[in-house]
Amino acid sequence: EQAALSAFPMPAVVCSREGEVVWYNERFRTEVLDGSDVYGAPVDDLTGGLPLADLLRRQPADAAYGGRKYTVYASRIPVRDTELTVLYYVEDTRLKDIAEEYALSRPAAVLLYIDNMEELLQNARDSERAQLSGRVETLIEDWASPTTGVLRKYSSDRFLLIVEQRYLQQMIGARFDILDRVRAVQAGDHQCVTLSIGVGQGETLRESEEMARQAIEMALGRGGDQAAVKTRNGFDFYGGVSKGVEKRTKVRTRVVASALLELIQGSDNVMVMGHRFSDLDCVGSAVAMASAVRSLGKPAYVVIRKAQTLAPELLERYRDAGRGDLFIEPEEALPVLTRRSLLIVTDTHNPRMLDSAKLYEEASTVVVIDHHRKMVDHIDNAVIFYHEPYSSSASEMVAELVQYLSGCTVTRLDAEALLAGIMLDTRSFVMKAGVRTFEAAAYLRRLGADTVEVKRLFSGSMELYKEKTDIVSHARLYGRTAIACDREGGGSQRRIAASQAADELLYIKGVDASFVLFEENGTVNVSARSLGDFNVQLVMEALGGGGHLTMAGAQLEHTDLRQAYDRLTQAIDRQVEETQGRSR
């Protein structure tokens, strides 16, 4: 065998089971080692650090030695009471260099949108407009100039950059630091300019451009001020540390309302459905939309699992008012569904979170109304995808829509349901409450919404209050966050108690974000809240969940509280490290 290897027409080296070099032929000595000897050396030294086990597992493997590149093949040879491994080296430096250069020179499409230029320049003088636009354009040009790419401005606030992969990798490595540079530009009233970036990496330029458009839509759908990179394997996100930019104009609302009215008038009936464990925002937006549809003369129902809702008081209000027939279970909705039925999904855009996945799958026409930051696995077959991540709540969006649904009426009870939804998601107009939020609240107040009656919807039982205070009492500080694990065997309202406890923990001095974990039916649920300085959505996405910068959640299956706690703290640590890296 040694004689055969000596005469073998390519470099070969033999190593022991422990990975030490025991023999090599003359070709290996002259062509790979350049005449030197390495007997007894670890084989890792000859493979560019690749261990023998990895080399055997992924053969043929790529290796590098002495400034040259090789493809290495391996075979095992049993010898007496041990086993040797023979490695055959094929030198292909030039081929690998050509392949690497080809990969690095592949073009990618980068779309850059200035998120809020229109809002910032709304009341500015012409000279201020030119100055601000010029500063932002100069930053973008300076960022793109070190590349060999082509940058083109194709509208007042939109740019297209075609760049090679080698430079795109540098941009990704720097985590798209142009986001921070642009955010440092301030307009009047200390408002910051923000940028959204969409990157597409396809096989062709056309495919790259299409991927870039999908990526920019995803970046904008998640609130802007971030970069989304789309490849064949999915999305990667960078940034997203600031709050969404509120759009003052209601043009899109009017357009959506007009299209929605046509769909309603052309349907047999309308089903309105929200997410599992529906809260006041979910139920409030759904019931107000269903009531508006009924006032237009079409049969409409709210599809909801009554035993699981977190807003039983609101359902009871409608039953007491003689309107309990609005609410039906998913099993009751399926027989009523026809080919011309319209399904309106509110307060979620994730098909996995719906109260009834089967109803969604059976529906031929779907409309989505949601305000949560866009997730990768969103509903992708909606005829109308009305998604506004800067809105405070789905109830705010519905309150605006019904004003443009010609012929519909909104009752006082519906107005109170919508106001309750807005108050829940804004924490009584403290978080994410923009100009349009207060305009929607004023509209609902004019319809007769009683704020005292709305407040009663938030009242809970003594059992709920005790459970909430018990959760808060067991919280522990972790950096600038507070984490509480609800003990096993809590009360029947633990889901509501957990979310309320997460809100309460934010009142602790020095706490930027709070997390409450509780176990239910083999799944660990996490409620996350923040005051805006800490992005809890990114932490929850790392655990498979989602939500908003200030309010998010996740469900961890096949795990216990201890494991969930460890995963949560690891996700928090990563988020803190990335935030500190950006600040440096």
3-class SS letters over 367-408: EEEECCCCCCCCCCCCCEEEECCCCCCHHHHHHHHHHHCCCC
Average pLDDT on 203-218 reads 93
Q: In what order do the strands lie in the sheet with 82-91?
A: 21-24, 12-15, 82-91, 68-79, 61-65
Tokens for 390? Answer: 């800067």
Q: Containing H/E element for 155?
A: strand 150-155
Whole-number pLDDT of residue 50: 86
Nearest to 45 by CA among 73, 64, 22: 64
Who has greater pLDDT, 193 or 302?
302
Angle of CA points 371, 251, 548, to nearest 5°: 15
State how far the Cα of 447 lies from the Cα of 544, in Å rounded to an integer. Answer: 40
Whole-number pLDDT of residue 546: 84
State how far the Cα of 547 lies from the Cα of 549, in Å rounded to an integer. Answer: 7
Average pLDDT on 512-520 reads 93
Asked if residue 39 has pLDDT above 80, the reply is yes
State how far the Cα of 439 lies from the Cα of 443, in Å rounded to an integer. Answer: 6
Q: b/e string for 148-166 if b means 16 or more Cβ within 10 A?
A: ebebeeeeebebbbbbbbe
Tell me: the pLDDT tens digits for 434-491? 889 999 999 999 999 999 999 999 887 788 888 889 899 989 999 999 999 986 555 5
What is the DSSP annotation of 157-213? TEEEEEEEHHHHHHHHHTT-THHHHHHT-B-GGGPBP-EEEEEE--SSHHHHHHHHH
Q: Phi and psi at residue 551, in whole multiples of 5°?
A: -150, 120
Nearest to 225 by CA among 215, 207, 210, 238: 238
0.85 surpassed by pTM: no
Tell me: the pLDDT tens digits for 294-303? 999 999 999 9
Tokens for 29? Answer: 């000595």
- Residue whose structure tokens are 């941009």: 171
The residues near 24 (Cβ < 8 Å, ≥ 6 apart) are 11, 12, 13, 14, 32, 33, 38
What is the DSSP annotation of 499-524? HHHHHHHTTSTT-SEEEEEEEETTEE
Domains of the chain: 2-95 (3.30.450.20), 105-239 (3.30.70.270), 251-456 (3.90.1640.10), 462-583 (3.10.310.30)
pLDDT mean across residues, the chain: 90
Average pLDDT on 110-133 reads 81
Tokens for 439? Answer: 């305009």
Note whether 176 and 242 are within 8 A (CB).
no
Query: Residue 414, Cα to own-chain centre: how many angstroms?
Result: 31
**Coil, strand, or helix at residue 287?**
helix
Q: Containing H/E element for 554?
A: strand 551-557
State how far the Cα of 23 lies from the Cα of 2, in Å rounded to an integer. Answer: 9
State how far the Cα of 278 lies from the Cα of 297, in Å rounded to an integer. Answer: 26
What is the DSSP annotation of 237-256? EEE--SPPPPP---HHHHHH
Who has greater pLDDT, 501 or 115?
501
Tell me: the pLDDT tens digits for 386-441? 999 889 999 999 999 999 998 899 999 999 999 999 999 998 998 888 889 999 99
Q: Which of 111-125, 267-281, 484-498, 520-534 has the highest mean pLDDT?
A: 267-281
**Coil, strand, or helix at residue 35?**
coil
